[in-house]
Amino acid sequence: MTKGQAISLQKNDGGSLTAVRMGLGWQAAPRRGLFGSRTREIDLDASAVLFADKQPVDVVFFRHLVSDDGSVRHTGDNLVGGVGQGGDDEAILVDLARIPVHIDQIVFTVNSFTGQTFQEVQNAFCRLVDESNGQELARYTLAGGGAYTAQIMAKVHRTGPGWTMTALGTPANGRTFQDLMPAILPHL
């Protein structure tokens, strides 16, 4: 899918989508030279910001792994990345049916905590998956995507009784989601 494209998360058979997962994967930095202890580790972080009427009310990231209501869960911080073969190294699970009624938008972001730009990270990607059937709703290849340290990936927002996902894919710079707040606001 392309930037700005919106997908309704209503299923074809009329049943609404119940759970989505944001996945983030990247390959660990290769060891250079003789001094094994001096490898530069790459730490990318996935975050989800919950908005009510354009005000951030909760955030799920590596320091707050479960939203207060329990509907959004981060599976845990990965500090170094994986083997880069397509598996998710960090994931955020969203139980759409249980999101508090006042929250109407959820924005997913990726940040490079250790400061490498996406140009320097091998095999980095982020994706949004329908948890009920494993189908990928959106996928971005981050690697080689330019000298940015962050991406505002996608938002999931309420439309009528169900939820709609809009792919954003906006590059940005910042260490954690807080640095991205000014860049997120125009997308709400």
Nearer Cβ to another protein, position 4 or 76? 76
Q: Which position among 3, 32, 54, 102 is part of the footprint of another protein (CB under 8 A)?
A: 102
- 1 is an interface residue for another protein by CB under 8 A: no
The window from 3-11, 97-105, 115-123, 177-185 that contacts another protein (CB under 8 A) reads 97-105
- 147 is an interface residue for another protein by CB under 8 A: no
The answer to whether 112 and 43 have CB atoms below 8 angstroms apart is: yes
- 136 is an interface residue for another protein by CB under 8 A: no
Q: Which position among 1, 10, 18, 52 is part of the footprint of another protein (CB under 8 A)?
A: 52
- 156 CB burial (10 A radius; 0-12, 13-18, 19+): buried
The window from 3-11, 51-59, 126-134, 155-163 that contacts another protein (CB under 8 A) reads 51-59
Q: Which residues contact 39 (CB under 8 A, 6 or more apart)?
A: 29, 30, 31, 32
Q: Which position among 66, 115, 136, 141 is part of the footprint of another protein (CB under 8 A)?
A: 66
Q: Give φ, ψ of 36 to 5 degrees.
A: -60, -30
Q: Identify the CA nearest to 89 among candidates 43, 145, 140, 132.
A: 43
- 19 is an interface residue for another protein by CB under 8 A: no
- 85 is an interface residue for another protein by CB under 8 A: no
Q: Which position among 1, 57, 172, 188 is part of the footprint of another protein (CB under 8 A)?
A: 57
Cα–Cα distance for residue pair 101/103, rounded to 1 Å: 6
Q: Which residues contact 122 (CB under 8 A, 6 or more apart)?
A: 26, 27, 30, 84, 143
Cα–Cα distance for residue pair 62/43, rounded to 1 Å: 11
Instruction: Name the residues that contact another protein, by CB under 8 A.
Output: 37, 52-53, 57-58, 66, 68-71, 79-80, 98-102
